[in-house]
Amino acid sequence: MKRVDHIAVLVRDIEGAKRFFTEAFGFQSEPTSENPSLGIRNAFLEGENVKLELIEPVAEGPYWEFLREGKIGLNHLAFAVEDIDAALGRLEKIGVRPSRPPFTGARGTVVDFDSETTMGIRIQIFKKK
């Protein structure tokens, strides 16, 4: 885990957020996609040296509670890994606990971690498809 792959931002209006980041900062946007199993619409935006994932909760799922509680904005830091089992094992050895079982996200297999074990920061690792 040597680099942050993307920064996820929870938004109420994904199309409005895409317009904002593309017009204000020159990001290039990928098409918006839907992930019914997570209850979200999401899109990745590329900047010169940063990638954002915009997430709009649209139904019950792991992100819905954040929207209900008004927690809009920075959602998590995602680290790409080559071997998700090795990375998970390394993190568990230092006391970092998954918050739920691995799942299939927008771009691959994902593990979210309990923020009580990651210094209050929502951390995610994933293996790209």
Indicate the domain borders of the chain: 4-128
Distance CA 37, CA 41 (A): 11
Contacts 24+ apart (CB under 8 A), 29-34: 33/106, 34/58
Q: What is the pLDDT of residue 1?
A: 65
Distance CA 91, CA 49 (A): 26
Distance CA 37, CA 117 (A): 26
Residue positions counted in the chain: 129
Q: Does the structural domain 4-128 have CATH classification 3.10.180.10?
A: yes
Residue 41 vs residue 106, higher pLDDT: 41
pLDDT category at 7 given cuts 50, 70, 90 is very high
Q: What is the pLDDT of residue 85?
A: 93
Q: pLDDT per residue over 59-118, tens digit each?
A: 998 899 888 888 888 888 888 888 999 999 989 998 999 999 999 887 789 999 998 988
